[in-house]
Structure 1
């Protein structure tokens, strides 16, 4: 991605930028990034967003799961 460009979560450019940033941090992050990148290149990576809202009374709403298409 070019400087100043914004990628939306759940897109391939967002994932690729995340991998790049993890590699730059080095250490364990870089090791994990390499594994993610390999799985992505092999078409074996599933990318999900999992969220759960909490209402004003502290009650948990149902868990929401969304699978992103990152082809």
Structure 2
């Protein structure tokens, strides 16, 4: 069974282009758009900017499924 590697980076677009250039696209994890929306809403309400990884992990723990 293949192990999935998730590389979380804040600069998603730059990471995407780097992965294409370096032929490592299969290792790149791009969070679902809902993760970005949730993070923006939390930041607007609290003033705290959490990482994409933190937000996605919290969403999964709350029962959210990607897809």
TM-score by length of 2: 0.29
User: Quick check: which has more Rg, 1 or 2?
Assistant: 1
- Greater helix share, structure number: 2
TM-score scaled by length of structure 1: 0.28
